[in-house]
Structures are given as C-alpha cells and as structure tokens.
Amino acid sequence: MSQTVVEEVNWHSLSVEEVVARLGTDPVNGLSSEEASRRLKTYGPNELEPPKKASPIKIFLKQFANILIGILLIAIVISAFFGEWVDSLVIAVIVFFVAVVGFVQE
C-alpha cells in the first residue's frame, strides 16, 4: 500500500464550496469512474491498516507491568531474603495465577 503525503487541512473549518474545490469533485455527481480509478491507483484503497497483533509471550509478560504485581514481586524477593520460603512460594503462585488469568482474558 503506497503512502502519499497529504496536506494537513482543517477540513471541518472549510465551507462546502472550498472542500469541493480542493478535492476536485462535483457535489451532485461525485467523481467520474475514470477519476475514481485514477485516484485509487494514486492513493490506494480507502482502508485502515489492520492493527498488529501482539505475540502471546508479549501479552503474558504485559501482565507483570502493573504496580501491584511489582509490589508482590518485591515481596517475593524480601520473603526469600529472610528465609520465608513458604511465603515466597505462595506469593509467587498467586502472582503467576493472576498473570495467567489476565492472559486468558486478553
């Protein structure tokens, strides 16, 4: 799809006559078939590009980009540092469960 730089215009602030003149069209009949074909070749179809789909790994890792999850991850490290392995494991399982649920929902 070719991208053409189009002049930035505040179309909403122009009168109907100005818009028609700038676009080179007829307000009653529209574009001729030849002109429509030419513009289609020049500018391409009037379609939006589909959004890029995120990979499953990226979606899963995005679940950890949350301040509350960050606090829980810090709590895991602190608990492990003080030898509270059971607490660390429980918090880690909860964080993993929350991440899996968030991943499935997306």
Tens digit of pLDDT at every position of the chain (106 positions): 444 445 688 888 989 889 888 888 888 888 889 989 999 999 899 898 898 888 999 999 999 998 999 999 999 999 999 999 999 999 999 999 999 999 999 8
Q: What is the pLDDT of residue 106?
A: 85
| Inter-residue contact 72 to 91 (CB < 8 Å) | yes
Count of helix runs (H) and strand runs (E) in the chain: 5, 0
Q: What is the pLDDT of residue 27?
A: 86
Contacts of 72 (CB under 8 A, 6+ apart): 91, 94, 95
Question: Strand, helix or coil at 26?
Answer: strand
Q: What is the pLDDT of residue 7?
A: 65
